[in-house]
Amino acid sequence: MNVQHRTSDSQTSKSRPDQAQRRSGNTRFFEKSILPEQRRFAPRSGLRRSQRTAQHSMFDAHSRAGYLYVAVMITATLVGLVGLSAVSVARLNLRTTTRTADSSSADFLAHSAVEHALAVLKNDSAWRTTYQNNIEYPDTPISINGGTFTWKLVDTDASLLDDDSDTVRIYGIGRQGSATSVQSVQLYPTETPLSCTQAAFHCASSVSLGGSINWSTDDEISSNGSLAANAVGTSITGNVYAAGSITGNISGTQTSAAAARRMPGSSVFDYYKARGTWVDINALPVSSGKRMIEKTIVSPTTSPWALTNSAGIYVIDCGGQNLEIKNSRIIGTLVLLNPGTSCLTSYAVHWDAAVSNLPALLVEGDFLICHSQPNLKESDLSTNFNPTGTPFDGEEDSDTTDEYASEINGIVYTSVKLTILTQSSRTHVNGSTICGSSSCISAATFNHKPVFTNYPPPGFASGSEMEVIPGTWRRDVLP
């Protein structure tokens, strides 16, 4: 029993150094983890574990405080950005609202400016001398609700004084804050008919009839030059009026050395360009090198180009191409610009203006009337010229048995040369034929319609009284 006890003590004593050695190694490990000043004052006991725990707690506390600080700063930055954005949006909205309000006010002022100018012109018969072209008036802008307006007059040829038959455009200028608005409208004179409309036929230059032809009129054949019917077999049946001399076989009264009659100015086409429907010349078919209007009806409700105009005004810029109007019925006003050298009516054409005092044909250049048939016959052309919607003398049908006289009813105006070259028939124009020059080598009858003198169409009047051309009021830019 004693031996066994010693043996046990011996084993115990052997194990203690190992345990002490292990404790000594652990102690050295922990001592390395403790700062020198901590080793100096701290007892070598279980406090080392609590010291490590406290150190970790301090680190966690500092970490949490740092994260909180960063979060607060980010939140503050975001709030600040949102606030700045809100302020910026508010400022932008304010500027936009202000600009919109200024723009609307400027529009109102521009409109008021045009109305003011119209009233001024109506009450001042000498306005063409009172005001200058393209100058803003009044000198002191008129103020309304913090804004101002002025207006200016612009003549088509840059001079208000040279021709009182010219059209004029009013420009109204409204200004509010930083906004400026311009509106304009075009006017045409209506006061006094041009004296050229007093004759059945009037030419701005001398007229000389070819051989073996007769011209007749129920009113007057007129010229701003001389007038001669001297060739063999040539005569004029009716009255004759000329600024120069008159010679030849004339059956009516003769008034020579008379005052020259006034011709239309360069703005004669303006109203019709503004009111008319423009037709592409290249949309018309071609035959024998000419663009054609043939075997068809042109009216306010019908046309071969699928476009219509309520007043029957159609504007064709020929662009130097030739156009032939052949075997057709026209109810309207055709305006031909930049025609080729051989634009004409041929065979048989029955032509009326859609509006009683409007022209039938206006040509900015030369034109030829060459009618060879006295009547437009539906049966010859297998074409109905008075279908539903386009009656003749109040009648419309679906057959092809009607006939219409080959004639033009209305004003025919050519700014340059009009040639009368009718084959085996007479040219008939009822209204007023007016041309810059003429070549008269075939028979013709010119009868006058006083409606064009009593109610002159746009472009054929002069004076200070002006009317707005419908459809020309628009937003604009200053000239």
| Residues in contact with 169: Cβ distance below 8 Å, sequence separation at least 6, in sequence order | 153, 154, 156, 184, 185, 186, 187, 472
Q: For position 281, what pLDDT does the model report?
A: 97
Percent of the chain with pLDDT over 90: 75
DSSP H or E segment with residue 445: strand 444-448
pLDDT tens string 354-392: 999 999 999 999 999 999 999 999 999 999 999 999 999
Contact (Cβ atoms closer than 8 angstroms) between residue 426 and residue 327: no
Structure-token match 């423009």, residue found: 278
DSSP H or E segment with residue 37: helix 36-41
Asked whether residue 89 carries a pLDDT value surpassing 70, the answer given is no
| Residues in contact with 68: Cβ distance below 8 Å, sequence separation at least 6, in sequence order | none
Integer Cα distance of 121 and 125 in angstroms: 7
Integer Cα distance of 36 and 464 in angstroms: 114
Least confident window among 37-41, 111-115, 393-397, 446-450 = 37-41
- CA distances (Å), 339 to each of 136, 321, 329, 369, in order? 38, 6, 21, 14
Integer Cα distance of 241 and 257 in angstroms: 8
Asked whether residue 97 carries a pLDDT value surpassing 80, the answer given is no
Average pLDDT over residues 251-276: 96
Asked whether residue 450 carries a pLDDT value surpassing 80, the answer given is yes
Q: For position 79, what pLDDT does the model report?
A: 75
Query: What is the DSSP-derived secondary structure letter of residue 124?
Result: -
What distance, in Å, lies between the first and last C-alpha atoms of the chain? 136
Average pLDDT over residues 446-455: 95
Highest mean pLDDT out of 102-106, 230-234, 315-319:
315-319
Q: For position 78, what pLDDT does the model report?
A: 73
Cis peptide before 138 (omega within 30 of 0): yes
352: Cα within 13 Å, side-chain hemisphere: 13
- CA distances (Å), 316 to each of 6, 286, 410, in order? 140, 15, 19
Q: For position 7, what pLDDT does the model report?
A: 42
The values of phi and psi at residue 11, to 5°, are -65, -35
Contact (Cβ atoms closer than 8 angstroms) between residue 447 and residue 218: yes
Query: What is the DSSP-derived secondary structure letter of residue 62?
Result: H
Please calculate the CA angle 311-312-317 and round it to the nearest 5 degrees: 120
Integer Cα distance of 177 and 98 in angstroms: 9
Q: For position 64, what pLDDT does the model report?
A: 61
Q: Confidence band (pLDDT; 50, 70, 90) for 44?
A: very low
Asked whether residue 15 carries a pLDDT value surpassing 80, the answer given is no
Q: For position 215, what pLDDT does the model report?
A: 96
Q: For position 424, what pLDDT does the model report?
A: 67
Q: Where are the beta strands (DSSP E) in 27-75?
A: none
Integer Cα distance of 311 and 356 in angstroms: 10
Task: Record the pTM.
Answer: 0.78
DSSP H or E segment with residue 403: strand 403-405
Q: For position 73, what pLDDT does the model report?
A: 76
Average pLDDT over residues 59-64: 58
Asked whether residue 33 carries a pLDDT value surpassing 90, the answer given is no
pLDDT tens string 314-353: 999 999 999 999 999 999 999 999 999 999 999 999 999 9
Q: Confidence band (pLDDT; 50, 70, 90) for 156?
A: confident
pLDDT tens string 109-150: 999 999 999 999 999 999 999 999 999 999 999 999 999 999
| Residues in contact with 276: Cβ distance below 8 Å, sequence separation at least 6, in sequence order | 309, 311, 313, 314, 315, 333, 335
Q: For position 76, what pLDDT does the model report?
A: 76
Helix (H, G, I), strand (E, B) or coil at 334: strand
Asked whether residue 467 carries a pLDDT value surpassing 80, the answer given is yes
Higher pLDDT: 46 or 230? It is 230
Q: What is the DSSP string of 355-389?
A: STTS-SEEEES-EEEEE--SEEEHHHHT--SS-TT
Asked whether residue 11 carries a pLDDT value surpassing 60, the answer given is no
C-beta neighbour count of 115 within 10 angstroms:
16
Contact (Cβ atoms closer than 8 angstroms) between residue 252 and residue 236: yes
pLDDT tens string 173-189: 999 999 999 999 999 99
Higher pLDDT: 36 or 107? It is 107
Q: Which two tokens stand for residue 433?
A: 């034929």
Contact (Cβ atoms closer than 8 angstroms) between residue 409 and residue 388: no
The values of phi and psi at residue 134, to 5°, are 60, 35
